[in-house]
Structure 1
Amino acid sequence: MNDYQETLYDGYGQRFRMDTLLHEVRTGHQHLVIFENARMGRVMALDGVIQTTEADEFIYHEMLAHVPIIAHGNAQRVLIIGGGDGGILREVRRHHTVESITLVGIDRTVVDICKEFLPNHSCGAFDDPRLNLLIDDGMNFVTHTTETFDVIISDFTDPVGAGEGLLSENFYQACRRCLSDGGILVTQNGTPFMQLNDVQTTASRMDGLFCDWHFYTAAVPTYIGGSMTFAWGSTDGSYRKQSLDVLRQRFAGSGIVTRYYNPEIHIGAFALPQYVLQAVNKPSND
């Protein structure tokens, strides 16, 4: 029995007991490992960084998918950048208002291996007729596409290796360009206690591009360092201020049964710790 030591941070980290190594491969883009852990179920790591576990993936995927789609209220065209494990796709496809889903992933091997070894992440979502699966660099796609989307969900890895270009200023500009009028962009943004510089970088990228930008959080045990931060950018400032009654009505109308997300969590997730607000120069009552 071996241990898997995560290498995301220098001098601080976590280790998982690797009860069974299920798959290991060096793809054309990254080093991928999937193993079994007694507490967290199947675990996937890329380039030394834990990406997802069967035990708590629902928290991350529900919050990235349902917060923007419920807030929007009529999202018909959704773009997912990254998300090759299929978890975001699984949640997005549960919304009957969504007519088309485009998923752009840089590494087909990740998609294929996750379908085989992490089937509960996608639950057959890759067979959805609304899906257009593209193997392409996310930055390249948003730079050159002529399509527009109501919601863009960026589920990229940490900004090293294959995910490096997805914190760039050009990336946010390109996403803004292919958002529909009244569109919403959300992105994974790391744990602010350990990655506050990344949160500040994203804030500087979004400021001036979106009339409304902010962050929201969820505590995902797998992502060491505290609450996970998600960036929010919208061309309509009213979406983030939806009332609890409206969110409850939309959530009930969707018929979706969740394990983490609910309208109360939705509203509360936008309440940020003071150190994060100060880092991005936001008032607490924004």
Structure 2
Amino acid sequence: MTDMPNWMREQLHGHYAQSLTVDKLLYDSETDHQRLRVFENGTFGRVLTLDDVIQTTEGDNFIYHEMLTHVPILAHGAAKRVCIVGGGDGGMAREVLKHTSVDHVTMVEIDAGVVEFSKEYLPMLSQGAFDDPRLDLVIADGAEYMKTTQGGYDVIIVDSTDPIGPGEVLFTDTFYGHAKRALTPGGILVTQNGVPFLQGDELTNTMRAFKALFADATCYMATVPTYAGGPMAFGWGTDGDARAVPLEILQQRFADAGITTDYYTPEVHKAAFALPRYVLNLMP
């Protein structure tokens, strides 16, 4: 008789759960803000959880990180200054910094503990991003930072946890208003907005705020296996026309950037904005 595997059960949703085997526990500690765990899984490699909710994995993080960075940066076409709110594992910074045309990246992370243990236990996510001289790491509350920053950002990426605990303030109308003020003319704000099939209110509330703030407010989608329950939505807000950039121009910008991706392509970029009816029905 073989030993039963140790399972981590994520119960983010009221009537739905997913489980991953904890093949080897590498880190388990509580900080001032949340409980951090890193473990190895046979399918997804190293897995990071906060309060037993999966945040990112070695195996599929590329989908989430590529779609939240390359879509707005390549759509903008001339982004020099980028702000990442959250993203303490360094994966978002890794993808943004692939763009040599980006001069400065501000990363605002509330929990220094996430950054430190990610450097040690998840170095494959950041791939040296924390050592890039273009990165300015600020340990602060993202909402407070956005309220006081001088701004001047071409792209703002909100890489938040779900709207519970420390991440809750990053889903408010006030925060979005401050973020818009921090954008340059034609700048783009993108956000993670959960899995609409299971977290519809999250998308509806964000889109209501975006539509009051931006001339172009919508979302785009990608399927990330460990964010279970269907495709994930990413909020999109801008006063420019970056969403209408033709495929041929995106293809040229992508080629000129000279970056390597595992999910993003210009074709996927354009298709991601084609939304299924149940998602459209969630948008006010």
Question: TM-score interval w.r.t. the shorter chain?
Answer: over 0.9
SS of residue in 2 equivalent to 1:103: strand
Q: Hey, what does 2:72 align to over in structure 1?
A: 68
| Structure 2 residue 171 is the aligned partner of structure 1 residue 206 | no
C-alpha distance after superposition, 1:114-161 (max 9, x if no partner): 111010100000000011100000000000111320000000000111
Cα distance between partner residues in 1 of 2:11 and 2:139: 27
Q: Hey, what does 1:268 align to over in structure 2?
A: 271
C-alpha distance after superposition, 1:238-264 (max 9, x if no partner): 200110100000000000011000000
| Structure 2 residue 69 is the aligned partner of structure 1 residue 85 | no
Cα distance between partner residues in 1 of 2:212 and 2:199: 22
The code of the aligned residue for 2:205 comes to: T
The code of the aligned residue for 1:38 comes to: G
Give the paired residue count.
280
| Structure 2 residue 269 is the aligned partner of structure 1 residue 247 | no
Cα distance between partner residues in 1 of 2:278 and 2:18: 24
Structure 1 residue 234: Cα displacement: 0.5
Q: How do 1:22-41 residues align onto structure 2 when only pairs under 5 Å count?
A: 22-41=26-45
| Structure 2 residue 130 is the aligned partner of structure 1 residue 126 | yes
Q: Hey, what does 1:278 align to over in structure 2?
A: 281
Q: Hey, what does 2:189 align to over in structure 1?
A: 185
SS of residue in 2 equivalent to 1:200: helix
Structure 1 residue 11: Cα displacement: 2.6
Q: Hey, what does 1:176 align to over in structure 2?
A: 180
Query: Does the CA contact (< 8 Å) of 2:151 and 2:181 recur in 1?
Result: no
For structure 2, the 5+ residue unaligned runs are: none
RMSD (Å) for aligned C-alpha atoms: 0.7
Cα distance between partner residues in 1 of 2:109 and 2:22: 27
Q: Hey, what does 1:284 align to over in structure 2?
A: none
Cα distance between partner residues in 1 of 2:181 and 2:246: 28
Structure 1 residue 235: Cα displacement: 1.6
Cα distance between partner residues in 1 of 2:149 and 2:254: 31
Q: How do 1:109-148 residues align onto structure 2 when only pairs under 5 Å count?
A: 109-148=113-152
SS of residue in 1 equivalent to 2:33: coil
C-alpha distance after superposition, 1:254-283 (max 9, x if no partner): 0001100000000000000111112214xx
SS of residue in 2 equivalent to 1:104: strand
Cα distance between partner residues in 2 of 1:197 and 1:152: 22
Q: Hey, what does 2:259 align to over in structure 1?
A: 256
Cα distance between partner residues in 2 of 1:49 and 1:155: 15
Cα distance between partner residues in 1 of 2:282 and 2:62: 29
Cα distance between partner residues in 2 of 1:147 and 1:188: 21
Cα distance between partner residues in 2 of 1:279 and 1:51: 24
Cα distance between partner residues in 1 of 2:191 and 2:136: 20
C-alpha distance after superposition, 1:189-225 (max 9, x if no partner): 0000000111100011111201111100000000011
Cα distance between partner residues in 1 of 2:278 and 2:262: 29
SS of residue in 2 equivalent to 1:23: strand
Calculate percent identity across the aligned residue pairs.
52
Cα distance between partner residues in 1 of 2:282 and 2:221: 15
Cα distance between partner residues in 1 of 2:151 and 2:217: 23
| Structure 2 residue 3 is the aligned partner of structure 1 residue 11 | no
C-alpha distance after superposition, 1:74-119 (max 9, x if no partner): 0000000000000000000010110000000000000000111010
Task: Report runs of 4+ in structure 1 exceeding 3 Å deviation.
Answer: none
The code of the aligned residue for 1:67 comes to: V
